[in-house]
Copies of this chain bind each other. A is one copy, B any other.
Amino acid sequence: MNQRKVSIKEIAELSGVSVATVSRVINNNGRFSEETRKKVLQVIKDTHYETNNIAKSLRMKKSNTIGILVPDISNSFFANVVQEIESILFKKGYSTIICNTDRNEEKEEAYLRMLEGKMIDGLIVISGVKEFGSTAINKKTPLICIDRKPKDTKSTILIESDHYQGGFLATEELISKGCHNIAIIIHRDFLSSSKERLLGYQNALKKYQIPFKEENVIHVTVEEKMSRTEAAKAALLQKISEGYQFDGVFALNDRLAIGAIHAILDLGKKVPEDIKVVGFDNDPISKYCYPCLTTIRQDNMLIAEQACENLLALIDGTRKDMKKHQVIPVTLVSRAST
Residues on A lying within 8 angstroms of B by beta carbon are 1, 3, 26, 28, 45, 48, 50-58, 65, 72-74, 76, 79-80, 82-83, 86-87, 90, 95-100, 102, 107, 110-111, 113-114, 116-119, 135-136, 138-140, 227, 229, 258, 284-285, 288-291
Give the nearest-CB partner of A114 in chain B.
Answer: B95
Q: Are A97 and B97 in contact (CB under 8 A)?
A: yes
Contact A139 B3 (CB under 8 A): yes
Please judge, given known A-B contacts A74-B76, A74-B80, whether A98 and B97 are in contact too, CB under 8 Å.
yes
User: In the bound complex, do residue A28 and residue B117 qualify as a contact, i.e. CB atoms below 8 Å apart?
Assistant: no
Instruction: Check A138–B86 contact: CB distance below 8 A.
Output: no
Nearest CB in chain B: distance from A260 CB, A: 12
Given A53-B114, A74-B83, answer yes or no on A1-B97 (Cβ-Cβ < 8 Å): no
A117 touches B52 (CB 8 A): yes
- In the complex, what's the smallest C-beta–C-beta distance from A8 to chain B, in angstroms? 12
Residues of B near A291 (CB, < 8 A) are 290
**Inter-chain contacts of A119 with B (CB < 8 A):** 54
A227 to B284, CA, bound (A): 10
Q: Which residues of B contact A96 (CB under 8 A)?
A: 99-100
CB-defined contacts of A140 to chain B, threshold 8 Å: 3
A111 to B35, CA, bound (A): 21
Q: Provide the residues of chain B in CB contact with A45, threshold 8 Å.
A: 135
Bound CA span A72–B79, Å: 9
Is the pair B50, A54 in contact by a Cβ cutoff of 8 Å? no
A288 to B119 Cα, complex, angstroms: 43
Further pairs besides A54-B54, A54-B58, A79-B79: 4, Cβ < 8 Å:
A45-B135, A54-B119, A86-B100, A87-B102
CB proximity of A293 to chain B, nearest CB, Å: 9
Query: Is B99 a contact of A100 with CB atoms below 8 Å?
Result: no
Q: Are B74 and A28 in contact (CB under 8 A)?
A: no
On chain B, the residues within 8 Å of A57 by CB distance are 54
- Nearest residue (CB) in B for A56 is B117
8 smallest CB-CB distances across A and B, nearest first, come from: A53-B117, A290-B290, A98-B98, A95-B114, A74-B79, A288-B289, A51-B113, A51-B117
Q: How far is the CB of A47 from chain B (nearest CB, A)?
A: 10
Whether the pair B73, A95 counts as a contact (CB closer than 8 A) is no
Which residues of B lie under 8 Å from residue A114 when comparing CB positions? 51, 53, 65, 95
Q: Residues of B contacting A86 with CB < 8 Å? A: 100, 102
CB <8 Å contact, A113 and B73: no
State how many angstroms separate the Cβ of A267 from the closest Cβ of chain B: 18
11 contacts between A and B (CB under 8 A): A28-B110, A54-B119, A65-B114, A65-B118, A73-B83, A73-B98, A86-B102, A96-B99, A285-B288, A288-B288, A288-B289
Q: How far is the CA of A55 from the CA of B57 in the complex (A)?
A: 11
The residue from B55, B98, B285, B288 contacting A100, defined by CB atoms under 8 A apart: B98
